């Protein structure tokens, strides 16, 4: 097992709210997750401006104690995102199986991973995890990646 859940338990609600990043699948997606008793907030419901950056939402979801779900793997190498994550109390999960999936497929991906996401999220934030297409979770060492990006000069101007 990759994590020790007894260390750093948090006061995350029993049924935490999922924040679903852009391109979630819309109304059908929401209905399927609601039937599965999963509380969620869609990106566009909170951030009306389509130009809202990932760095903005990561800070906000940490403050609200929501769990972010995305399929945007670019965040794993984004110095701005990783720096904002490091300064936040966010819990972020990339679900690779959501890429290119239908609304039903995206919802199934979240439903299948939900219990494990909540279990992992009981640890102290910030955190960054990835679920591969087979549903296996892996912790992303975002601090290490950020350090490498800084040393390579790709993270200039990032605090």
pLDDT tens, residue by residue, 63-110: 999 999 998 888 888 999 999 999 999 999 999 988 888 889 999 999
Sign of CA dihedral 36, 63, 101, 96: negative
Q: Return the structure tokens found at 131.
A: 């679920």
Which residues, 6 or more positions from 144, have their beta carbon under 8 angstroms from its beta carbon?
none
User: What number is the average pLDDT over the span 48-71?
Assistant: 91
- pLDDT by residue (tens digit) across 1-37? 333 334 444 567 788 999 998 766 678 888 999 999 9
At 130 the three-state DSSP class reads: strand
Q: Considering only CA atoms, which of 64, 60, 98, 56 is closest in space to residue 81?
A: 56
Domain ranges of the chain: 20-152
Backbone angles phi, psi at 95, to 5 degrees: -110, 100
pTM greater than the 0.75 cutoff: yes
> For the segment 101-130, what is each residue's pLDDT rounded down to a tens digit?
888 999 999 999 999 999 999 999 999 999
Q: Output the six-digit token pair for 18.
A: 């999922």
């Amino acid at each position: 097992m990759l994590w020790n859940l007894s260390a750093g338990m948090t006061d995350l609600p029993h049924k935490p709210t999922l924040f679903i990043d852009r391109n979630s699948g819309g109304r059908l997606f929401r209905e399927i997750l609601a039937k599965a008793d999963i509380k969620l907030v869609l990106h566009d419901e909170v951030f009306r401006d389509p130009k809202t950056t990932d760095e903005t939402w990561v800070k906000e979801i940490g403050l609200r104690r929501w769990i972010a779900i995305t399929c945007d793997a670019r965040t794993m190498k984004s110095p701005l995102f990783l720096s904002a994550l490091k300064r936040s109390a966010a819990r972020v999960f990339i679900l690779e199986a959501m890429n290119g999936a239908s609304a039903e497929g995206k919802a199934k991906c979240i439903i299948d991973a939900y219990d494990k996401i909540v279990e992992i999220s009981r640890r102290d934030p910030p955190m960054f995890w990835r679920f591969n297409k087979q549903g296996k979770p892996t912790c992303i060492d975002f601090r290490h990646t950020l350090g490498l990006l800084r040393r390579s000069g790709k993270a200039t101007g990032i605090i």
